């Protein structure tokens, strides 16, 4: 069955095994990884039979690979067989999905790069695999655990329980001091900054009327601006964590970092960067008013659900207007992040010059981050693929800003 061997470094996309549907003809060659090499497991047009699934499961394989040029065919295949996926036992029966949606709210995604082998932790670590969360390290205050070698980082998202957030906060707060002697690790401080920002966002989303918590976010936005202006590579470090699923806090930080990066590249002054960053980091705050089931829904929303989803923009505006001193310019980044130059965006359907600079920037940052994030029915674009796709969408996004955006991100792998 295995016919061809190739280097793993090629332009291949990872596909969770559960996206292959038993009884269907495959839309492209399917590869598996063995000893860091990719081998063709099934060819385009072959039947994906129960025996193939069992063989892969026996080998402990949870991901397969396809060539990136086959992504459109594969996405068409997924959309055509979406109903089969939704009724598949392990991939999304209503009860399973509800459990997943509920569970996801109880976990917080973390960056495994900060969990060092040999270090002691007093919080449990879990790995998200599809709709399930599996314990990887069990630890508590009474029974701390030492982190072993070889954490399973690339097979799913590493998460902790939300009830352990303060323990994780203490753990990462101590990291820069521990690492300060290792001057060749400048990334630690930046990674910690990103994780701190996600925790602060979590606190604010839980208590969005709090003036104290928004001040904390404001201070962290300033730190992000400082770390980006001192070091362009910080953009990459701050973006390094791409989840296998959609996480609002990681997305919010990414959109802020990308917006600040783009603002910096066009020579924006610090005061403006601050307002832009603040609006960008809170651009999706209105999602707290939308049900988890709609937010976590994998696949296309129906018209009614999409209308509900769109309300996150006006809900966000309402909320942030209630904060005295929240700048009007920041509101623009929030209000216009789904507008398109073509007039096909929402909520205003604004076109051309009616979309202001902060809106144009946050829309580009938001779109890029959505493209590069994987969801159950959507393959994540690699950065260069996302940029390539965006470069053809000048009818929707500001062409000059797109050009600059592509230039600053062009070297991200």
User: By the 8 A CB rule, do 315 and 329 touch?
Assistant: no
| Selected binder of Fe ion within 70, 366, 374, 398 (CB under 5 A) | 366
Shortest separation between residue 305's beta carbon and Fe ion, angstroms: 15
66 vs 256, beta carbon nearer Fe ion: 256
Binding region for Fe ion (CB under 5 A) out of 61-69, 218-226, 270-278, 363-371: 363-371
Distance CA(174)–CA(400), nearest Å, equals 42
122 vs 314, beta carbon nearer Fe ion: 314
The encoded tokens of residue 220 equal 């962290």
Shortest separation between residue 302's beta carbon and Fe ion, angstroms: 18
Q: Is 374 in the site for Fe ion (CB under 5 A)?
A: no
Shortest separation between residue 313's beta carbon and Fe ion, angstroms: 7
366 vs 374, beta carbon nearer Fe ion: 366
Shortest separation between residue 361's beta carbon and Fe ion, angstroms: 13
Distances, alpha carbon 44 to alpha carbons 29, 215, 303, in Å: 5, 55, 34
Shortest separation between residue 119's beta carbon and Fe ion, angstroms: 33
Shortest separation between residue 346's beta carbon and Fe ion, angstroms: 10
Give the residue ranges of DSSP H helices in 59-124: 71-80, 82-87, 89-92, 94-106
Binding region for Fe ion (CB under 5 A) out of 77-85, 176-184, 321-329, 359-367: 359-367
> What is the biggest distance separating any 2 CA atoms in the chain, rounded to whole angstroms?
66
DSSP state of 351: B
DSSP state of 342: B
Nearest to 195 by CA among 170, 226, 229: 170
165 vs 295, beta carbon nearer Fe ion: 295
Q: How would you class 206 by CB atoms within 10 Å of its CB: exposed for 0-12, middle for 13-18, buried for 19 or more? A: exposed
**Which residues, in sequence order, are bridge partners of residue 127?**
134, 158
179 vs 366, beta carbon nearer Fe ion: 366
Binding region for Fe ion (CB under 5 A) out of 159-167, 238-246, 358-366, 402-410: 358-366
Binding region for Fe ion (CB under 5 A) out of 56-64, 297-305, 315-323, 362-370: 362-370
Site for Fe ion in 251-310 (CB under 5 A): 284
User: What phi and psi, each to the nearest 5 degrees, are found at residue 240?
Assistant: -60, -25
Count of residues engaged in binding Fe ion, rule: CB under 5 A: 2
Q: Which residues contact 133 (CB under 8 A, 6 or more apart)?
A: 103, 107, 126, 127, 159
Q: Which residues contact 131 (CB under 8 A, 6 or more apart)?
A: 90, 91, 92, 96, 97, 99, 100
Shortest separation between residue 345's beta carbon and Fe ion, angstroms: 11
164 vs 366, beta carbon nearer Fe ion: 366
Shortest separation between residue 338's beta carbon and Fe ion, angstroms: 6
**Which residues, in sequence order, are bridge partners of residue 30?**
42
29 vs 366, beta carbon nearer Fe ion: 366
Residues near Fe ion (CB under 5 A): 284, 366
């Amino acid at each position: 069955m295995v016919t061809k061997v190739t280097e793993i470094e090629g332009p291949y996309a990872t596909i969770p095994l559960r996206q292959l549907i038993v009884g269907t003809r495959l839309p492209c060659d399917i590869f598996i990884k063995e000893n860091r090499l990719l081998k063709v497991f099934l060819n385009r047009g072959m039947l994906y039979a129960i025996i193939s699934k069992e063989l892969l499961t026996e080998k402990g394989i949870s991901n397969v690979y396809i060539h990136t040029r086959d992504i459109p065919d594969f996405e068409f295949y997924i959309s055509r067989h979406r109903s089969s996926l939704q009724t598949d036992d392990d991939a999304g029966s209503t009860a399973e999905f509800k459990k997943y949606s509920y569970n996801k709210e109880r976990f917080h995604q973390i960056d495994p790069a900060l969990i060092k082998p040999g270090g002691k932790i007093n919080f449990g670590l879990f790995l998200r695999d599809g709709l399930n969360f599996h314990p990887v390290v069990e630890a508590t205050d009474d029974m701390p655990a030492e982190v072993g070698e070889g954490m399973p980082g690339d097979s799913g998202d590493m998460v902790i329980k939300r009830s352990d957030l303060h323990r994780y906060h203490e753990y990462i707060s101590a990291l820069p001091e521990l690492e300060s002697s290792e001057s060749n690790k400048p990334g630690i401080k930046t990674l910690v900054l990103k994780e701190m920002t996600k925790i602060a966002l979590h606190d604010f989303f839980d208590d969005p009327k709090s003036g104290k918590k928004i001040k904390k976010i404001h201070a962290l936005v300033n730190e992000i601006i400082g770390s980006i202006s001192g070091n362009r590579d910080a953009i990459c470090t701050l973006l390094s964590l791409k989840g296998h699923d959609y996480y609002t806090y990681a997305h919010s930080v990414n959109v802020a970092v990308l917006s600040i990066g783009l603002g910096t590249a066009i020579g924006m002054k610090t005061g403006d960067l601050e307002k832009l960053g603040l609006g960008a980091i809170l651009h999706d705050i209105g999602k707290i008013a939308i049900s988890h089931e709609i937010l976590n829904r994998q696949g296309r929303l129906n018209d009614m659900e999409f209308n509900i989803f769109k309300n996150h923009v006006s809900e966000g505006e309402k909320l942030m207007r209630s904060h005295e001193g929240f700048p009007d310019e920041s509101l623009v980044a929030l209000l216009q992040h789904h507008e398109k130059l073509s007039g096909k965006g929402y909520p205003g359907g604004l076109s051309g010059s009616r979309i202001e600079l902060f809106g144009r920037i946050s829309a580009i940052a938001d779109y890029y981050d959505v493209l590069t994030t994987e969801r159950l029915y959507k393959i994540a674009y690699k950065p260069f693929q996302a940029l390539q796709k965006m470069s053809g969408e000048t009818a929707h996004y500001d062409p000059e800003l797109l050009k600059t955006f592509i230039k600053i991100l062009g070297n991200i792998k």
